Structure 1
Amino acid sequence: MSKVQFTASEKLAILLEIDSGQIGVMAAAKTYGISKTTVVKWRRRYEVYGYKGLEIQSYNRTYSVELKLQAVQDYLTGHYSQYEIIDKYKIASRTQLKNWVDKYNGHSSLKSYNEGAKAMTKGRATTWQERIDIVHYCLAHKHDYQETASQYQVSYQQVYQWVKKYEDGGLDALQDRRGRKKPVEELTETEQEKMAMKKLEYENERLRAEIAFLKKLQEFQRRRV
């Protein structure tokens, strides 16, 4: 097999070609000089991380202490498989998860790889509108909880819980039940329009990214002809 490096756009073009039925996995591997294992790896990274998962990483990804502990605790409950956990928390590999579990069981400290990072490991108080904005941002970015937490300076767990509440019960589920908040139907027309515009902004951002990718895909396919 050749050791040609493919760009993220080229990797995705190959995956889409396979998914569309234009070519089989084995035929694609032979055509592009890659192994079947490589194709499977690309597919899994795309399913877990989206387009970013196909980009060549020149650095180790950092994880907060909070995320590591949550992943380890999920593993120790026995309710989740390793694959379910690495998908849920977007961990690089099962080896990475096992390393954390071993450190935890060996009473080693699960320290963040980047102690100086500004990413918060503890939650903060938020307004209902902030939670709505955070959820819309996360959904527009393919459930990237870590990126959303960093963007809004809240904890990973907060983002995960708010998205889950929203998907189960809609906007009203994001209200702070410790005090009465106006339900969605009681919002003024201006407030509802503002909320709709914010959601539309994130949707437009997602569409612009998709259009940019399609242009790259078409260019890649033209070069193959």
Structure 2
Amino acid sequence: MVKFTVEQKLQALNLLKEGYSSCSVAQIIGAGSHQTIDTWAGQYQHFGVQGLEIQRTWQNYRGQFKLQVLNWRKEHDETYQNTAIHFKISSPSLIYTWEKRFDEGGLDALFTKRGRPPMNKSPKKPGKYTSSELSELERLRLENRQLHIENDYLKKVEALARRKDAQRKKNYCTIAF
């Protein structure tokens, strides 16, 4: 996505004043869509040069505000661009996103927070276990110890069986010759 300076936006608006269509202006400056030019024109008409400045700060809109914007848009049967201009929202597509979320998830979808949920403030520290967790931990440790003993025993039995087998083969070879 190309970022345009205020000067480039003003040049585009001057081309509009000279009689070019928003489609042709978009092609000339490489804006991609005539809707971008129309948005700039509306922002300039309502807010002047300040409306064309790039807004770098992320705003976190509250659910009540989103609902108010959607209700106003529906009440006045306005476009996303005009609604964005009326409420001083930098991107008309943001209103479309809110409307889509509202249609899919209802009112609760407008009141959800952005981003990941916060991590637990106090993770469990070893040593602060409940009595049931301690008994479970002790049981698991005992079971683990028993499994280690069983594993070691089986390894020794297997080693003895191999040694005995090797001894038989050795004795068989000496008897056969």
Structure whose CA Rg is larger: 2
| Band of TM-score, shorter chain | 0.3 to 0.5
Ranked by relative contact order (alpha carbons within 8 Å, sequence separation 6 or more), the top structure is 1
TM-score normalised by structure 1 residue count: 0.35
TM-score normalised by structure 2 residue count: 0.41
